[in-house]
Structure 1
Amino acid sequence: MKNKPDDRRDNVDKIEYNIGKTIQNIELAEDVIEVTDDYKTKETLKAKNSRRKEALNGMREEIRDEAIDKRNGYK
């Protein structure tokens, strides 16, 4: 069984898509936080948004890494 070759040509596009969706989820959660009176829901969404923001930092770092790899000749 052969491994698939590492095809990273569309990695940046995939990461950018995930960044957009993550930002969208953060905004939707913030809208719910504003209108709900349920303390547990607010705290859960705040915790999720905190993790999402950490994930955004990681995804942005991945894009920088991809740019460096591309500059160094990795296809």
Structure 2
Amino acid sequence: MSDTSYKSHPDDRSDNVEKLQDIIENSLKNIDESEAAMAFSTEEDQKIIKQKNENRQASIEAMRNEIKEEEAARKNGFTE
């Protein structure tokens, strides 16, 4: 094998904030849609939906914290 087949890609953080914001928006949309679906779900499915939404909320909080870190890194001159 040649050495070029396993080259790593440079870390590109330039659009991380935007990507995270898109993921958050999609997660919030999924929460809304799943809550609407609960009206037509069995009790067991409702429990599953509630657990998934709790997990989504936790992920959203983590992503919001990551956005804050990324924005701080941008302000401090991180360019890569």
Alignment TM-score, normalising by the size of structure 1: 0.92
Tell me how far 1:13 sits from its aligned partner: 0.9
User: Which of the residues 8, 18, 37 maps onto 2:13?
Assistant: 8
Q: How far apart, in 2, do the equivalents of 1:63 and 1:29 lie?
A: 25
Q: Which runs of 5+ in 2 are unaligned?
A: 1-5
CA–CA distance in structure 2, aligned partners of residues 4 and 36 of structure 1? 46
- Residue identity over aligned pairs, in percent, reads 32
- Mind listing any 5+ residue stretches in structure 1 that lack a counterpart? none
Higher relative contact order (CA 8 A, sep 6+): 2
Partners of 1:67 and 1:53 lie apart in 2 by: 21
Larger Rg: 2
Q: Distance in 1 between matches of 2:49 and 2:60?
A: 16
| Runs of 4 or more above 6 Å deviation | none
Let me know the Cα RMSD of the aligned residues. Answer: 1.0
Tell me the distance in 2 between the aligned counterparts of 1:24 and 1:10: 21
| Partner in structure 2 of residue 49 of structure 1 | 53
**2:28 is matched with which residue?**
23
